[in-house]
Structure 1
Amino acid sequence: MSDDHTHVQEFFSARAADWDSRFPDDGPAYASAVGALGLRAGDRVLDAGCGTGRALPPLRAAVGPSGVVLGADLTPAMLRAAAGAGRDQEGQLLLADVTALPLRSRSLDAVFGAGLVSHLPRPVDNLRELARVVRPGGTLALFHPIGRAALAARQGRQLTPDDLRAEANLRPLLTASGWHMTSYVDEDARFLALATRAV
């Protein structure tokens, strides 16, 4: 495992047990972001870096019982917390690295990624891997329940021009990875960038 992966695992392992209780009011924001994906009954969707599985219930509601919901995460403690919260009933949990997914090419309709971009070790390559598993015309949602400025303030840091989630950086990053950004929202109450898989 690379140093990047070890760092991510250590960060989230230390926080898994109380992750949901630290952010108890995020449910509606997750549901709203999932709604923006435009999923239909029977669709196949991946929550990439699913953590404790907070997006899995709204993803399951969107695709219905005939759809496929997968939650992939690198950190066993996060997946245990997801199962402990009963979210393994909403989708299949995979201990997997989103930078090298054990999924067939073009096998999914959409990918949801909450708080994902800032944890990717090689963003262009890693977003290209997400594009690989999505059919042409499929969708990607990059989400955070608060905007960039609010998150920076919470973490006691300043926003910098090299922030990957800044629109000027994210749009070309997505383009280089096989995606076309279709909308971008960065406000205090949420961050949501939507993209379509290039044909």
Structure 2
Amino acid sequence: MGVVVVRDPATETPAAVRTALAEAGLAIRPVPPPAGESRPPDLSGVEGIVVLAAPRREATAEQALLRGALAADVPVLALGPGTELLAGADAVGPPSGAPRPPGHGGILLTPAADTDPLFADSPLPPELPPADGPFAPPVEAVTLAVCDGHPQQAFRLGVSAWGVRFLTGTPLDAWGERLLRRFAALVAARAEHTATRAFFTHRAGDWEERFTSQGPAYEAAVARMRLAPGSRALDLGCGTGRAMPALRAHVGAAGHVLGVDVTPAMLASAARHARDRHGHLLAADCNLLPLPGRCVHGIFSAGLLDHLPDPRAALVEWARVSAGNAVLLLFHPSGRAERAARHGRPLDPDDLLAESNLRPALEATGWRVDEYEDAPHHFLARAVLRS
């Protein structure tokens, strides 16, 4: 797993940063090359970013990298002057040695810090000096730490990017080192989701156009679910929502369709292609669905299950939200042999989708397989939840 450290080329990565990353099993990797104009940077292999450098005239690659990271929810921690690069600030405040206004007070955490993944349960020591100078974070930033005279001391952008102005990366006190270790642990814990978002965010812009021809195959697969009008259907790992029109056609106006994906950029592409006219779109983890139990009558999932780190846990979660006799349809518009040949490798006997592996996995998690097809040009497995 790799973390990009954005720093001044004339400096070394601080020892505290190297140590925190190494303890979490994370390696430091180079900054990816600049992206083309038509798509965000390719963040494949980038599990997190630490920003230590202030904005520079020639920092366009770093700026593109951070824009892509924010879009893909790649974890980012910016310290000291790096917060200006993260926030996209145009003006640099006074140097760190500039006089502070009288009565600046100490740094205080805000109520938002109480539930923040990095700041919760981590009270600040009173002796920490605040950062100097004016600072204007983006309007959507959540303030996590303030001080009189220089109110914006730490903030969060979205769910995965943090800026801490009063820490510079070197030297760090015990509190700063603990924050670094927390960030490194968070990067390692989210690595699987980060990799997925990074891969698909880079490709979301033209994903639909590349696979338009697969529409009829999706329609035929959805028809195999045999959903009744008025049913509630999920499209898990929905991507651009290619199955949603067919799901809506089967459940009718009285039914409900929900497309779930972990990559916001894919859901944005689904909305651009008007898939939200056929149902709701939701950014969520398919292993932890924000749904009550026994509420779904059908689950459609294309090309997802065998890419999950714990497929059995996912099948248990899908069973939890499914009503008795609900249908699960696993689909791919290519057969297993066709995909293996395309990647220049033989069929893997340990492949989860091999019938000898998939049937036991489904049976052990409450599903009964009633159809299995590994055809030359599609893969399909239909299972019913045992009531």
Shorter-chain-normalised TM-score: which range?
A: over 0.9
1:85 corresponds, among 270, 273, 296, to 273
SS for the counterpart of 1:50 is coil
From 290, 303, 311, the counterpart of 1:115: 303
Q: Are residue 73 (structure 1) and residue 261 (structure 2) matched?
A: yes
For residues 343 and 212 of structure 2, the distance between their equivalents in structure 1, rounded to whole angstroms, comes to 18
Which amino acid in the other structure matches residue 140 of structure 1? L
Off by >3 Å, runs of 4+ in structure 1:
none
Partner of 1:138: 326
| 1:5-16 superposed matches below 5 A | 5-16=193-204
Shift of 1:157: 2.8
Query: Bigger relative contact order, structure 1 or 2, given CA contacts below 8 A and separation 6+?
Result: 1
Alignment partner, residue 62 of structure 1: 250
User: Which segment is superposed worse, 88-97 or 113-122?
Assistant: 113-122
Counterpart amino acid of 2:191? D
How far did residue 155 of structure 1 move? 2.7
8 A contact 1:143–1:190 mirrored in 2: yes
Letter in 1 for 2:360: P
1:158 Cα shift? 2.4
Unaligned runs of 5+ in 2: 1-188
Say whether residues 1:182 and 2:373 are aligned partners. no
Q: Equivalents in 2 of 1:152, 1:9: separation in Å?
A: 24
Aligned-residue Cα RMSD (Å) equals 1.0
Q: TM-score, normalised by structure 2?
A: 0.51
Q: TM-score, normalised by structure 1?
A: 0.97
SS, match of residue 10 in structure 1: helix
1:72 and 1:96 in contact (8 A); partners too: yes
Structure 1: distance between partners of 2:348 and 2:323: 34
Q: Answer yes or no: is 1:27 the counterpart of 2:215.
A: yes
Output the CA distance in 1 between the equivalents of 2:344 and 2:191.
25
Larger radius of gyration between Structure 1 and Structure 2: 2
2:235 equivalent among 47, 51, 55: 47
**Structure 1, unpaired ranges of 5+:** none
Q: Which one of 324, 327, 336 corresponds to residue 148 of structure 1?
A: 336
Q: Distance in 2 between matches of 1:151 and 1:24?
A: 18
Q: Deviations over 1:86-111 (max 9, x none)?
A: 10111100011110000010001010
User: Contact 1:134 / 1:197 at 8 angstroms: preserved in 2?
Assistant: yes
The question of whether the paired residues in 2 share the 8 Å contact of 1:48 and 1:73 is answered with yes
